[in-house]
Amino acid sequence: MPPLDFSVVITGEYRDWLVSGFLLSLRLTAVSWVLSLPLATAVALCRLSPLVALRWLGAVFVEGIRNIPLLVHLLFWYFAMPEVLPRVARDWLYQHSAESVCAIIALTLYTSSYMAEDIRSGIRAVPATQLEAARSLGFGFLSSMGRIVLPQAFRIVVPPLGSQTLNLWKNTSIATVIGTAELMYQAQRVETASFRGIETFGVTTVAYLGVSLAITVAATWLQHRFPVRAP
C-alpha cells in the first residue's frame, strides 16, 4: 500500500475536478431550497384549506412524493419524463445540462414534500384564535395566513427546516446516478484516475461534513435569533 499523500488530490487537475463538483453541489442545494420553500408553503396551505379539493390535492402531493425513494425520482425525471416532452422542449433540456435540471426537479419535489409537513405542523401549532381573530377583522384565509399565522409558524419550524436543509445537502450526492457532475461524481472520477481512494474520499468526507456543520450552526443561530414567543 503506497503512503498517504493528500497533496495528490488537492492540487492540479484533481483539485479542479473536486472544486467543480463541490460548487455544483452547493448550487443544487441552493436552487432546490429556494424552489422547495414556497412550494412547500403552498402545499401546506392546501392541506389546511377549507376547500376539500385542495386538501386532497395537498395530501396526494405529500404522500405521493415522499413515499417514493429519491433514487426513483431521479431516474424517473432523467430517463422517463424527457420522453413525453415535445421535441423542442426535449432538445432544449439536453442542450442545457439535463442532468442538473432533472436533479433540481427531483430534489425540489422530494424536499418540499417533507418541508410541507413541517410547515403544516408549525401552522397548527399557532393558536387557532389567531386565525379566527384575523378572519373576524375581515381578512381572507390567505391574507390571514400570510400576515398573521405564517410569520409565527416559520419561527416554530426553524429546527425542522434546518434538518430538511441538511438532508437536501446530503441528498445531492445521490444525483451522481444520473451523471450529474456534483461532488460525489467528481470524487469517483478522481479515485478512478488516481487510485487514491483514501485521500479522495477523505477530502470528500471533510467537504460534506464542513457544509453540514455550517448548516447546523446557521439553523441554531436562526433559532436563537428568532425565538418562539408565547402567544
Please give the full DSSP string across 145-183, using - where no structure is assigned: IIIIIHHHHHHHTHHHHHHHHHHHHHHGGGGGGGT--SH
Residue located via cell numbers 479515485: 191
Burial class (CB in 10 A: 0-12, 13-18, 19+), 195: exposed
Please give the chain's pLDDT, 231 residues, in tens: 667 778 888 888 999 999 999 999 999 999 999 999 999 999 999 998 889 999 999 999 999 999 999 999 999 999 999 888 888 988 888 888 899 999 999 999 999 999 999 999 999 988 887 777 877 777 777 788 887 888 888 889 999 999 999 999 999 999 999 999 999 999 999 999 988 899 999 999 999 999 999 999 999 998 888 777 655
| Domain contains 38 | yes
Query: Any idea what the CATH number is for the domain that residue 116 is in?
Result: 1.10.3720.10
| Domain contains 231 | no
Would you tell me how many other CB atoms lie within 10 Å of the CB of residue 63? Answer: 11
Per the structure, the complete domain to which residue 77 belongs is given by: 6-225
- Measured distance CA(80)–CA(105) in Å, rounded: 13
Q: How many domains does the chain have?
A: 1
Return the DSSP state at 180. Answer: -
Residue located via cell numbers 472520477: 189
pTM for the model: 0.92
Distance of CA 159 to the CA centre of its chain: 15
| Domain contains 230 | no
| Domain contains 1 | no
